[in-house]
Amino acid sequence: MVDELVADYLARLDRAAQVLAPDRRTELVEEIRDHITQARASGTVGDEAAVRTLLDRLGDPDEIVAAAREGEPVVPPAPAGTWAPPQPWPTRRPSIGLEIAAVLLLTVGSIIPLVGWLIGVVLLWSSRRWTVVDKLMGTLIVPGGPLAIALLAVVVPGQVCSSASVTQSDGSIVDGPTTCTGTTLGPFGPAILVFWLVAPFVVGGVLLRRARLRADREPWIPVAPSSGSSRWGGLEIAAVLLLGLGSFLIPVVAPIAGLVCAWASTAWTSREKWIATAILGCGLLLPVVVIVAARIR
């Protein structure tokens, strides 16, 4: 009785599916047959009532075939106002702006003593595309950054040796004992210096490559169809004006206000906001560093 019910249902489905392409018809009937088989194999469908419920839940064969016809490649033009198949959403590749900013600050940015490099470290640790090992590597090779080392090499005098001339009793002049002041890195000094200068750039390259690889494994970022002019409200314009023109008119205060506006806006990603903050941080601190350096001299 139960088998008859199923056979009857499948026969009705097969008849209804005659309107489909032959391979689609076979496929559909096979899938429904599998469904019934799976349901019965799961043990929950034994008696006649359960089988009838199962078939009821599957629905009327005509309805199933109608659903299959909707997806046919060739369909009569749909009347206006009905559901249209979804279009692929516009997307963009995940950008690694934050990571690029971090590596730039860790290497080239170290020209601004300590501050540039420190902001680079903050960005480095705020990225989720690097592992802790990556971040430690970026931080420890080399603390302060390559250009800080270069600056140190210029500012701190190397080993200066001098010898006083001694006039001996017989009138001849000979060199006295040589005295040296300053620091020296020993015979490996040049090698260590080259390492300090080059290694951060190599590490930076490796870090960028890893960030790119990991970013490419992330799903592409959907771009809202209405993005563009509607993204820009008063807040965004205020932020840009304060950050740009404002810093000339009211130094320090205007850029900070602009930054607050930028962080309050939803039009930019947090990555973009971090980059703006990092660049502004360097910009704000550069004059301070220059003034302090001038005072020391």
Partner 1 sequence: MEPGETRNPLTQLRRGVLEFCVLALLREEERYGFDLVRRLGDIDGMVTSEGTIYPLLSRLRRDGWVSTSWQESEAGPPRRYYAITPAGRHALSGFGLEWQRFRDSVDALLQTGGGRGGHDG
* Among the residue ranges 92-100, 198-206, 216-224, 243-251, the one whose residues contact partner 1 (CB under 8 A): 216-224
Q: Which of the residues 64 through 83 are near partner 1 (CB under 8 A)?
A: 64, 66-68, 70-71, 82-83
Q: Indicate whether 32 belongs to the interface with partner 1 (CB under 8 A).
A: yes
Closest to partner 1 by CB, 219 or 228: 219
Closest to partner 1 by CB, 33 or 210: 33
Minimum distance between the CB of residue 157 and partner 1, rounded to whole angstroms?
Answer: 58
Q: Indicate whether 213 belongs to the interface with partner 1 (CB under 8 A).
A: no
Q: Indicate whether 220 belongs to the interface with partner 1 (CB under 8 A).
A: yes
* Residue 81 contacts residue 44 (beta carbons within 8 Å): no
User: Pick from 14, 27, 125, 289: which binds partner 1 (CB under 8 A)?
Assistant: 27
Q: Indicate whether 190 belongs to the interface with partner 1 (CB under 8 A).
A: no
Minimum distance between the CB of residue 287 and partner 1, rounded to whole angstroms?
Answer: 33
Kindly determine how many residues on this chain lie close enough to bind partner 1 according to the rule CB under 8 A.
40
3-state secondary structure of 167: strand
Alpha-carbon distance 13 to 30, whole Å?
A: 11
Sign of the CA dihedral running 4, 10, 11, 13: positive
**H or E element at residue 20:** none
User: Pick from 26, 37, 131, 269: which binds partner 1 (CB under 8 A)?
Assistant: 37
- Count the neighbouring beta carbons within 10 Å of the beta carbon of residue 108: 17
Alpha-carbon distance 17 to 25, whole Å?
A: 5
3-state secondary structure of 206: helix
Q: Which of the residues 85 through 124 are near partner 1 (CB under 8 A)?
A: 86, 88-89, 91
Alpha-carbon distance 14 to 26, whole Å?
A: 8
Sign of the CA dihedral running 190, 192, 197, 201: positive
